[in-house]
Amino acid sequence: MPTINLVQAVNQALREEMRRDERIVILGEDVGKDGGVFRATEGLYEEFGENRVIDTPLSESGIIGTAIGMAIYGLNPVPEIQFLDFIYPAFDQIVTNLAKLRYRSGGQYSCHLVVRAPYGGGIKGGHYHSQSSEAYFCHTAGLKVVIPATPYDTKGLLLSSIRDKDPVIFLEPKKIYRSVKEEVPEGEFTVPIGKAKLAREGSDVSIIAYGAMLHVALEAAETARKNGVDVEVLDLRTLIPLDIDAVLATVKKTGRVIIVHEAPKTGGFGAEIAALISEKAIEYLKGPIIRVAGYDTPFPYTLEEFYMPSVPRIMKAIDKLMQY
């Protein structure tokens, strides 16, 4: 079984699925001859040709609008937005048309497509290449939002997303595109959408995270272990639909909760998780729910390491909770 990184897992999933299903079409900026800015689509143009791997103009609205038309007429498009930060010109197409078409047609039209986009900081990209705006799409009924954290889950979840009947926003944590590696089977396998994964078992504190922050949480958990604190880490993998049962299970087990994400704290998806815990499991809590998140500022270039959640910031939250 080969050991590959996350961006290779994306490429492998797309390649294998395109071989299986000729309806799948990839489109986006530089995805064809150049293989994408992160090389996620490298080699696909050569294998499948210009009719299935399409280099588009620099028009996010045009990319998504074209993909919607393709989907309505029976194709299975996988458009790439080069950076999640660039998606806003296509926001109206996504929330007004894509997310609502199946509902407003009474199920007569299935408008399924997968919007892939790298998101988050960690590559010194500055405030136009580092944003984490997943909460916008979580707020939009009709969309599924998937964020893998490992190569295995990336391939399995991307295959599940391509085969799903609903539109999916598939966000890839570019910080760990090449730094995280693991064994990933060649050939077909899927990871179910809507199921979280217990990445580390523990008894004292629960950390709930997703994307690149999973690995920061795991590092913090190991640091806490050396200090005598047993930390459990839950990888959400999918934000919408959320695996609320897995969230409640870890909350009831430890009674102490820290939620970690890169997005700004105010209105971030961590707020929704905290609200659900308060509604459904407040009697199990031994202390306040703590969010370790990005700050409510534009993403800074020179202060990136201070903006993003870190092991010291998570350790501070652990120490605070253990004092209750």
Axis crossing angle, helix 311-322 with helix 213-226, rounded to the nearest 10: 50
Query: Could you say which of 129, 139, 215, 261 is catalytic?
Result: 129
Q: Are 318 and 224 in contact (CB under 8 A)?
A: yes
Q: Are 35 and 64 in contact (CB under 8 A)?
A: no
Nearest to 233 by CA among 260, 270, 203, 200: 200
**Would residue 261 show up in a list of annotated catalytic residues for this protein?**
no
Q: 3-state DSSP call for residue 264?
A: strand
Pairwise CA distance, residues 196 & 20, whole Å: 27
Strand 290-294 relative to strand 257-264, pairing: parallel
Nearest to 112 by CA among 155, 151, 40, 161: 161
Cβ burial of 82 (10 Å; 0-12, 13-18, 19+) is buried
Pairwise CA distance, residues 37 & 35, whole Å: 7
The residues annotated as belonging to the active site are 129
